[in-house]
Amino acid sequence: FRQSDNGARTHNLAKLLYVHMLGYPAHFGQMECVRLIASPRYSEKRIGYLGAMMLLDEKQDASLLITNSIKNDLSHSSQHVQSLALCTLACMGSAEMCRDLAPEIERLLGASDSYIKKKAILCAVHIVRKIPELGELYTPLACSLLSEKNHGVLHSAVVLITELCERNPDTLRQFRKTVPELVHIMKGLIMSGYSPEHNVAGISDPFLQVRILRLLRILGRCNDAASDAMNDLLAQVATNTDSSKTAGSAVLYETVLTVMDIRSESGLRVLAVNILGRFLLNNDRNIRYISMTSLQKIVQTDHTAVQRHRGTIVDCLKDQDASVKRRALELSLALVSATNIRTMMKELLVFLSTCPPELRAHTASGIFIAAERYAPSQRWHIDTILHVLITAGGDVRDETVPNLIKLITTASELHCYTVLKLYRALITDISQQSLVQVACWCIGEYGDLLLKGECDDIEPMQLTEDDVLDALETVLQSHMSSPASRAFALTATMKLSTRITNNVDRIRSIVSIYGSCIDVELQQRAVEYNALFKKYDHMRAAVLERMPVIDKSSPGDTLGDLTGEVTKDSSMSKPVPGGSTLPLEPASQAFDLLDLLGQTDTVPEASHAESAAAPDPAGPSTGRDLLDLLGGLETTVVPSVTVYEKGGVSLKLQCDSQTETAVTLTFTACNSTQNDITKFTLQAAVPKSIQLQMKAPSGSVLPAGGHSAITQTVVLSNPSKTNLKMRVRLSYSNQGMVCQDTVQIDSFPSPAWT
Amino acid sequence: MINHRGLHSPRRGLTFEVLRAVPIVYLPRLFFFCACSLALPLLQIRFLLLFSRQGRVRLQKWFTALSEHEKKKVVREMSLAVLTRPPKACNFLQWKDLKVVYRRYASLYFCCGLEQRDNELLTLEIIHRYVELLDQYFGNVCELDIIFNFEKAYFILDEFIIGGEIQETSKMCVAKSMEEADANQEVGHTHTHTQHIQGLSRGETW
């Protein structure tokens, strides 16, 4: 590059670009690009601009250097040079460049040559995307552009109008007037005969058609008049378009999306759903995927219409393709209802056993939600959950276990049935942790029912106590069991000591072995249970009684840290290893604890409190949790400081969180005057060592009488930990008068929690 | 026309070149990666990538500002995601918050990244139109054409799509403007263009 040999410069730069494409660093070519762009020769400009688009982007500083070249080239005599400049600007123009060159683009929009016009329009689109305010500059011209004949210009014009309408609701209202014109253009496209220039597989210019449909969608949204004007057209497009090729399907798809979005009449909606149904039966996977995606969007509103296609959707679950399967799964889950729950669940369970691993967790949770909502009977519900646990126990979420346990305790007549089934599942396979945990819990609770061995609904099994204890010991000793499962098994073994009569010694020996286990949780429990045997034997029966039915409405059942494992030994206060002193006093103390927790329902940590209030807190491990909960149950009132109050407008400051180097603050502005205050804005300034980032405010209008407030979040990052100081300027307009005020904030409120 | 023979690796054997010289449009699937990403969540193509079955990038066009590091990451992840798809699979993927539309043409994958609200079927058509334009320009285009004349491929793309949007829906217009632009190029370069075409035809008779 250092050589100034003109002929080779383009070659060298091109070679550099190729190297760059292969992935090697090429930033030293940026200056060369700038130089080539400035050269008068067209071929050099071409390569220079290409290099600029590849190597420079708006984040690089060097991009500003080409602004001037672009400006000059925009007024060049040759339209090809102009087009190069426009293309580059549209591709990588930064906000500053756009701002500088916006008037030039406006001038070009009025140019007569369609080649330049279409490029200028797309450039304008880019500018509007970067700087929405400049949209006002182009709005007047955009209307007139719709009367162009050239498809390229027309297409770009539609894009520009779409962009303007999406950014600004006022412009949207303005452009609603153009709906008849758009309808006319569209009709022309559909009705026109074969035009070799624009034809794609029998459809006349599908790109333009899709674009116009999209614009119509935006214009017709939430507006009855515009929607009415489009109804005929949409019906015509829907019926006349040939969908055997992708182009036609693309147009139909866009039509369907438009019909769904605007206020269309019901006949049209039915037509659209039928089109989607037709797509579903299509052999082409892409089209099936598309139709399922769109059906997903409308399943909430047009539920019955989509139900008609349920059979096809469920068939798609068996498709080979992973994307199609995913869509079919989501749609199937959305289509489950009280009437079809049994058949759907069968299909879903089959799917679960064959589905790819990444979809398993989603399927399992979907099945659970559906089962919970529509379960026809409790037994069916339990069966379904068991089936899921057996097939995909590893992929279910953690709260499934306590949920299932809750369900089981409520279905009291099914205890025998449930425990037999779980026992059978346990002895076949102990690798699914959630299943193991539930099974252990049930065996512990209902071990006597298990040993009785009789049950109506299921074939009886003759079990001895040894069999049951063997099963539990296998779980305890298996390397596949997680610590949580082991804990479940240990406690279950303990509970069985009251349910069975012969092998109490065996239980005692198991428990004492684990007294020296490495896992602290297990050891702790084993020690406690040992103590239960030795010192408090008289209370053992009472302690290990059946659990009460868990209150189903308690939210967020995190009963202690080991998922739902609680025993009724609150009557003893065991010594807490870890030092917190729960006095070794009889039940009254612990019950006080319970009462205290029971009454703190209203506090945000209520979920912990409630679930602990129903069954008694498990031993010191959860006792410790309770103490922590108590520690966290302080009032969470966030202090806020009023920093400005004048003329009825007040500004409060509240500190949301504070870390070592960053503080998040929220400003809340309130208006207690009689009049609405508009255009309320906040500006803030901080010392140089602090960085300020203001998020978007929630609004700019403060209604009168303090009904609602505007909030704005500000993040200050303070790496050098200097004293925080801030100056805030408010400006607002009240009854036409613009007011501005500045306030300095030197002291910040402490955060709600440290 | 820039001669890239110097960059052509001498290690490549005969059979490999013959494979690559097979015209693209004759084979049913060409992988076309178009991905377009824009920071603003509105309708747009975000980027367009072309790469070979070995994962070598042949063309990349970004319509958003990403850092070099991010671009590389996207390219790598995209190629992995698409190259592992089975041949008869659906042409649409969901990747992070983007929709990805891809198509395979001979040995090249053409991949597009779209916003959530974009019409995927139309993007397939866009990809096909681009391939047709390349075919029209190069005459039975193949991967070698795109390797050796990558800047032409870019120029054609720039005549077809600006800022992520189509600017010209008529094939004839795009072809015409390319011809005119080429005619504008100074004489020294057109000479190497003809040289290259001769070289290609030699390659095809192998």
Q: Which chain B residues touch A78 with a CB distance below 8 Å?
A: 184
pLDDT at B10: 42
Q: Is the pLDDT of residue A684 over 70?
A: yes
In angstroms, the separation between the Cα of residue A30 and the nearest Cα of chain B is 14
Q: Is the pLDDT of residue A633 over 70?
A: no
Q: Which chain A residues touch B65 with a CB distance below 8 Å?
A: 57-59, 92, 94
Distance (Å) of CA A678 to CA A5, A278, A674, A704, A729: 63, 52, 13, 10, 15
Percent of chain B with pLDDT over 70: 69
> Is residue A669 within a helix (H) or strand (E), and if so which, with residue range?
strand A662-671
CA A614/CA A554 separation, integer angstroms: 9
Q: Which chain A residues touch B72 with a CB distance below 8 Å?
A: 23
pLDDT-derived band at A2, boundaries 50, 70, 90: low
Cβ-nearest to A91 among B119, B163, B177? B163
Residue of chain A minimizing CA distance to B91: A286
Q: Is the pLDDT of residue A553 over 80?
A: no
Q: Which chain B residues touch A163 with a CB distance below 8 Å?
A: 42
Subunit contact A253:B60, Cβ cutoff 8 A? no
CA A348/CA A366 separation, integer angstroms: 9
First to last CA, chain A: 58
Subunit contact A159:B165, Cβ cutoff 8 A? yes
Subunit contact B121:A7, Cβ cutoff 8 A? no
Q: How many residues does chain A have?
A: 754
pLDDT-derived band at A3, boundaries 50, 70, 90: low
Q: At what angle do helices A483-499 and A465-477 cross, to 10 degrees?
A: 160
**Chain B stretch 8-37, residues whose beta carbon is closer than 8 A to a beta carbon of chain A:** none
Q: Is the pLDDT of residue A211 over 80?
A: yes
Q: Is the pLDDT of residue A652 over 70?
A: yes
Q: Which parts of A429-559 fold into alpha helices (H)?
A: 433-452, 465-477, 483-499, 504-513, 520-534, 537-543
A367: its two tokens: 């099945």
How does pLDDT run across A237-260, given as a tens digit for each residue? Answer: 888 888 888 888 889 999 988 888
A288: its two tokens: 């099936």
pLDDT at B135: 92
How does pLDDT run across A417-440, given as a tens digit for each residue? Answer: 888 888 888 878 777 788 888 888
**Chain B stretch 67-86, residues whose beta carbon is closer than 8 A to a beta carbon of chain A:** 67-68, 72, 86
Mean pLDDT for chain A overall? 76
pLDDT at B187: 52
Cβ-nearest to B169 among A17, A59, A155? A155
In angstroms, the separation between the Cα of residue A685 and the nearest Cα of chain B is 27
The mean pLDDT of B95-103, rounded to a whole number, is: 88
The mean pLDDT of A21-43, rounded to a whole number, is: 81
Q: Is the pLDDT of residue A310 over 80?
A: yes
pLDDT-derived band at B49, boundaries 50, 70, 90: very high
Residue of chain A minimizing CA distance to B103: A286
pLDDT at A454: 66
Residue that wins the pLDDT comparison between A162 and A424:
A162
Name all contacts of A522-530 with Cβ < 8 Å and 24+ positions apart: A522/A483, A522/A486, A522/A487, A522/A490, A524/A577, A524/A619, A524/A620, A524/A621, A525/A487, A525/A490, A525/A491, A525/A494, A525/A619, A525/A621, A526/A490, A528/A569, A528/A574, A528/A619, A528/A620, A529/A490, A529/A494
In angstroms, the separation between the Cα of residue A177 and the nearest Cα of chain B is 23
Cβ-nearest to B165 among A11, A125, A206? A125
For residue A706, the 8-state DSSP code is G
Taken in order B125, B128, B133, B136, the sign of the CA dihedral is negative
Mean pLDDT for chain B overall? 74
CA A611/CA A165 separation, integer angstroms: 52
Per-residue burial over A284-306, b if 16 or more Cβ lie within 10 Å, else e, is: bbbbbbbbbbbbeebbeebeebb
pLDDT at A551: 61
Residue that wins the pLDDT comparison between A104 and A503:
A104
> Is residue A737 within a helix (H) or strand (E), and if so which, with residue range?
strand A737-745
pLDDT at A550: 65
Q: Which chain B residues touch A321 with a CB distance below 8 Å?
A: 86, 88-90
Subunit contact A159:B173, Cβ cutoff 8 A? no
pLDDT-derived band at B19, boundaries 50, 70, 90: very low
How does pLDDT run across A41-66, given as a tens digit for each residue? Answer: 888 888 888 888 888 776 777 777 88
Residue that wins the pLDDT comparison between A749 and A654:
A654
In angstroms, the separation between the Cα of residue B72 and the nearest Cα of chain A is 8
